[in-house]
Amino acid sequence: MRSVLRAAVFLAVLLSATVLSIDFAQAAGKPKGKAEAAAKQAAPAVNKGKAPASRQARAAEPAARKSLTKAGSTKPAPSAGKPQTTATRNAARQLAAPTSRTSSRHASQLAAAPAKAPGRSLAQAAKKVQPGPASHRLALAEPKKSVRHALASPPDLWQEPSQLAVHSGSALVVAQDSSEALYEKNSQAVLPIASITKVMTAMVVLDSMPSLQAPITITEEDVDYLRGSRSRLHVGTVLTRETALLLALMSSENRAANALGRNYPGGLAAFVAAMNRKAAALGMSSTRFEDPTGLSSNNVSTARDLARMVAAAHRYPLIREFSTTTGARAEVNGREIEFHNTNQLVSSPTWEIGLSKTGYIQEAGKCLVMQARVAEKPVVIVLLDAAGKQTRIGDANRIKRWMESASASGRSPTRV
């Protein structure tokens, strides 16, 4: 009986030992399989045949160690013969993890990095922009669109009063056929008119219908002692009334103009009275004359009144001819003397002037009146109280260009 019991106990112990050895072997085999699988993925395949188990374990060990090192572990990989299930499992995880972590890291870097702007100019502009979202930086980095300013075309510029820079103190441009004012500046100011007076002198002389070939003599009464102006017509000079009229209008000869008035029926006083009556008849209500030369500053008028006077004088053929003559030779005391027009514009090929007269005394400044055809339109131009020597000439040229620009645009000048 005892022998039977001993045999049963022995068999039970043997069976238990066998089971334990089988479990131990299975437990040790599982880590080997996982390590071998990791080694196969990490190490390159040398041949397609099956390697011995020990060689596979040795190949898996360096790969596992390498993957553990990448994961930050400083411990060497466990031997394949020892059942380190946790370490082996971590090694297998590390072999698969870098790919996903790398891709996610690159994705985060790409998201954080600024978008590359196409073209060098956009990339350079993006560097100057403050950090921010990539789309915002690109919007600021876009090149600015060119802006086209709506500028007034040249035909429109003449309509602006500031574009017609008239520097004379008083000015007026009127259409001769309708008396419509195209431009005016202080046109109602009463100002001294200097030798513009001689236009009225010529009309009064011609209205009396004298003999133009009758001789008149320059006397002491014709000498200017008021301002001391010079003259080449010396006392005692004899010339025809026609020549005196020519020199008064063309060269603004004061002694010739005074001699014409003095030789008027009734004398100088009657002549001045006739001048004022003529002015009143023309509607020149702000005009007063005191002498036939304009040397007196009491000879005053307005640009408006003078435009009336010029329009009326233009109806006298001799005034048109004499006032626009560029130069002439006159016989004075047996010798010829050359005289020239005081208005340089009459000799300009760009001007078509029908009547002209200049004037100057200190109180009046530089003055100019003209009848001219500008842009195919007959106009009267009055310029008074100009300071500079060439100001009145410059103003006349500016008025001409102003009207011609209007004509070129197909428009009629508008009052400004």
Residue of 32, 185, 198, 278 marked active site: 198
Report how far Cα 401 is from the mean position of its chain's Cα atoms: 21
Q: Which amino acid would we find at residue 337?
A: I
Tokens coding 407: 């004509």
Q: Are 381 and 173 in contact (CB under 8 A)?
A: yes
Residue of 252, 296, 323, 405 marked active site: 252
Distances (CA, A) of 294 to 203, 224, 248, 389: 15, 11, 11, 19
Q: What's the CA gap between 200 and 207, in Å, rounded?
A: 10
Q: Is 185 a catalytic residue?
A: no
* Closest residue by Cα to residue 328 from 238, 225, 245, 413: 245
Q: Is 252 a catalytic residue?
A: yes
Q: Are 216 and 263 in contact (CB under 8 A)?
A: yes
Tokens coding 252: 């603004």
Torsion of CA 361, 366, 369, 372, to 10 degrees: 150
Residue of 67, 195, 251, 301 marked active site: 195
- Write down the H helix ranges in 43-161: 53-70, 85-112, 120-127, 134-141, 154-157
Non-local CB neighbours of 383 within 8 Å, separated by 6+ positions: 166, 168, 170, 171, 366, 367, 368, 369, 392, 395, 396
3-state secondary structure 210-262: CCCCCEEECCHHHCCCCCCCCCCCCCCCEEEHHHHHHHHHHCCCHHHHHHHHH
Distances (CA, A) of 188 to 264, 304, 384: 32, 6, 11
Q: Is 198 a catalytic residue?
A: yes
Q: Are 230 and 253 in contact (CB under 8 A)?
A: no
Q: Are 90 and 65 in contact (CB under 8 A)?
A: no
Tokens coding 43: 């190490």
Instruction: Report the catalytic residues.
Output: 195, 198, 252
